[in-house]
Homo-oligomer: A and B are copies of this chain.
Amino acid sequence: MENLDDILKIDPDASVRFYKKKEFVQRKGGAKAYSFYVKKGLLRSYIIDSKGKEHVFMFASEGWIIADLEAIEFDEPTSLFIDCLEDSEILIFNKNCFLKADLSKEKIVEHLQLLYRRMAKLQRRVLMLMSSPAIDRYTHFVSAYPELPQRIPQHMIASYLGITPQALSTIRRKIAESK
């Protein structure tokens, strides 16, 4: 999604790190939030609500950037947990490096373009959450990210869709039956 080398050149503080499956890249309550470029592997971000339940905000596989934008933008303590679903190689950097003066205008515009695309995806996510039943959200997810279901346990997909693992199990049975 974003070019690794660009980031490394731009942000002198950027660093590459290797993580094991289940390791945390960020925890809730951290004072400073970074952005994470996934060079290899698979990450997920999620919150834990007042009842202790996890809610997956997003997944990020190779080439994606994952971050707690709310914390970064408004300088709040982080509210998201970010951990690894697979052993991963991650580039840690400051999102603000994209605002730096020594970056070419073309690069910035390119970055702007990517941001717009992600906003458009988020728009779709909100609309789906509000207006579509769980089964439609699931089929949309599978067709939008066909490679992810194979790498992600179903209960996490359920969480991403805003339903319980049991509900997703039932949905999948119904889909299988109707074919």
Contacts and interface: CB of A to CB of B under 8 A. Distances in A.
Q: How large is the interface on A (under 10, 10 to 19, 20 to 34, 35 or more residues)?
A: 35 or more
A116 interface: yes
Contacts of A112: 98-99, 108, 111-112, 115
Nearest to A106: B101
A47 B120 contact: no
Given A112-B108, A129-B129, A130-B129, A122 B120 contact: no
Contact of A105 (B108, B119, B121): B108
A127 to B, nearest CB: 6
Given A70-B124, A111-B112, A125-B126, A55 B99 contact: no
A143 interface: no
Contacts of A113: 99
A49 B68 CA distance: 31
Nearest to A105: B105
Contact of A116 (B95, B117, B124): B95
B72 A120 contact: yes
Interface in A87-138: 95, 98-99, 101, 105, 108-109, 111-113, 115-127, 129-132
Q: How many copies of this kind of chain does the complex include?
A: 2
Q: Is the interface of A mostly helix, strand, loop or mixed?
A: helix
B115 A69 contact: no
A77 interface: no
8 shortest interchain CB distances as A-B pairs? A73-B120, A69-B120, A49-B131, A70-B120, A55-B131, A122-B122, A55-B130, A130-B162
Given A73-B116, A74-B117, 13 more contacts: A47-B127, A53-B131, A55-B127, A68-B123, A70-B120, A105-B105, A108-B109, A108-B112, A115-B119, A118-B119, A119-B119, A119-B122, A129-B162
